[in-house]
């Protein structure tokens, strides 16, 4: 069967060719590949791994495995991700790359297009093979994902440390939005943190898509981070969904658990509290809508509150009403120019818990 190709118009205005089925397979003599760093002939054109010395396994997922490795040329420590192809693997043609690329490779490249963003993992090299594709990524060392980081700190972090992590995480997501990339799986496991510098990086674009203004009806992420409107109506919008996921991460790092419907009910009644958290965090912001609106403006994530305040319908979050819970420490705002919401919907969260 031939390719089905459609023009995709992401929110950043550029046009990409979106291939809904696998393009023609590469020839038997050589796989499509990207030569790093300056288009030099590879040591072995048939296999990218001839240029890297494999090391310990770092992780494994549903379709792939990640290993630590060293570049033979200069000993640079990298992470090598090998992903088995599935029958429904999507390809994307992007500027500066004439051949269609596996979606994950294309999105990682797009997320890094432009000025360097330290909070997004960099793709150093790749190869598209017949049955799988290989990605060579930067590998800060020593580092661990936020789940392991949490466990190493007793499953709860201080408000100051959470502020430091969330500032970086929010900036990384904001940059993805601006560059037309919807990550699709914002969660603790997909942020790594350097043990030495506490620098945070967003990884794994394997569940991602291009940003668009219309609703998505398919979600490949992790259930605990699903936006409630997807559970209720089977559709969602990118920016509100990423906002929700960031809020779940923030709540979990502070409280050591995922938020529940009971948390939200207490929030509505101004009764929510949590041991060891500051009174400022536990208190609701009485001007929540305006502060939240400012927060979304500064992070690049869309606030649904403005249209509610004006009485207009907002399809982004299924017309649920709002409530805000913010983190403060002294007079320092959580985000450089605003605050970040923890719980995005008042009724939606109760509904999602009931339907789980």
Residue 110's CATH number:
3.30.200.20
Same domain, 123 and 168: no
Same domain, 147 and 129: no
What pLDDT is attached to residue 309? 37
Same domain, 202 and 331: yes
The number of beta carbons lying within 10 Å of the beta carbon of residue 89 is 18
Q: What is the largest CA-CA distance in the chain?
A: 67
Last residue of a domain, one of 138, 154, 169: 138
What pLDDT is attached to residue 316? 35
Helices (H), 191-287: 228-233, 238-255, 261-268, 279-282
**3-class DSSP state of 101:** strand
pLDDT in tens, 326-337: 332 222 333 322
What length is written for the chain?
356
Same domain, 115 and 158: no
Pairwise CA distance, residues 270 & 264, whole Å = 10
Same domain, 103 and 188: no
Last residue of a domain, one of 138, 155, 177: 138
**3-class DSSP state of 188:** helix
Give whole-number Cα distances, 194 to 45, 56, 165, in Å.
34, 18, 11
Q: Does the pLDDT value for residue 133 go beyond 90? A: yes
Q: Can you give the residue range of the structural domain that contains 18?
A: 5-138
Same domain, 151 and 132: no
Same domain, 277 and 153: yes
**3-class DSSP state of 225:** helix
Contact indicator for 188, 161 with CB cutoff of 8 Å? no
Q: Which residues are catalytic?
A: 185
pLDDT in tens, 208-250: 999 999 999 998 888 889 888 898 899 999 999 998 899 889 8
Same domain, 100 and 173: no
Q: What percent of the chain has a predicted confidence (pLDDT) above 90?
A: 47
Pairwise CA distance, residues 179 & 211, whole Å = 9
pLDDT, average across residues 176-201 = 96
Same domain, 127 and 259: no
- How many CA atoms does the CB half-sphere of 34 hold within 13 Å? 22
Same domain, 249 and 320: yes
Going by the annotation, the residues of the binding site for ATP are 81
What pLDDT is attached to residue 34? 57
Residue 237's CATH number:
1.10.510.10
Same domain, 215 and 295: yes
What's the number of domains the chain is made of? 2
């Amino acid at each position: 069967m031939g390719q089905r190709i459609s023009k995709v118009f992401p929110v950043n205005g550029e046009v990409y060719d979106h291939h809904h089925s696998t393009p023609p397979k590469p020839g038997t003599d050589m796989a499509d590949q990207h030569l790093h760093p300056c288009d030099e002939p590879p040591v072995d054109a048939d296999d990218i791994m001839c240029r890297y010395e494999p090391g310990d396994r770092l992780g494994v997922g549903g379709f792939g495995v990640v290993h630590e490795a060293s570049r033979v040329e200069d000993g640079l420590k990298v992470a090598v991700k090998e992903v088995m192809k599935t029958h429904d693997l999507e390809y994307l043609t992007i500027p500066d790359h004439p051949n269609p690329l596996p979606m994950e490779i294309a999105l990682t490249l797009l997320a890094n297009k432009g000025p360097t963003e330290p909070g997004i993992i960099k793709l150093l090299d790749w190869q598209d093979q017949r049955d799988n594709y290989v990605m060579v990524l930067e590998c800060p060392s020593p580092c661990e994902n936020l789940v392991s980081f949490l466990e190493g700190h007793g499953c709860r972090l201080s408000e100051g440390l959470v502020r430091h992590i969330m500032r970086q995480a929010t900036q990384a997501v904001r940059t993805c939005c601006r560059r037309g990339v919807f990550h699709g799986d914002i969660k603790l496991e997909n942020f790594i943190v350097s043990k030495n510098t506490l620098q945070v990086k967003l990884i794994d674009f394997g569940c991602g898509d291009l940003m668009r203004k219309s609703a998505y009806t398919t979600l490949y992420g992790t259930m605990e981070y699903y936006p409630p409107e997807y559970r209720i109506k089977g559709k969602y919008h990118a920016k509100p969904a990423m906002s929700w996921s960031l809020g779940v991460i923030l709540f979990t790092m502070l409280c050591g658990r995922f938020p529940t419907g009971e948390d939200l009910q207490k929030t509505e009644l101004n009764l929510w509290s949590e041991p060891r958290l500051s009174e400022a965090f536990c208190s609701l912001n009485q001007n929540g809508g305006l502060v939240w609106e400012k927060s979304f403006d500064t992070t690049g994530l869309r606030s649904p509150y403005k249209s509610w305040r004006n009485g207009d319908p907002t399809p982004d979050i299924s017309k649920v009403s709002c409530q805000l819970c913010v983190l403060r420490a002294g007079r320092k705002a959580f985000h450089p120019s605003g605050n970040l919401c923890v719980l995005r919907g008042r009724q939606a969260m109760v509904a999602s818990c009931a339907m789980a």
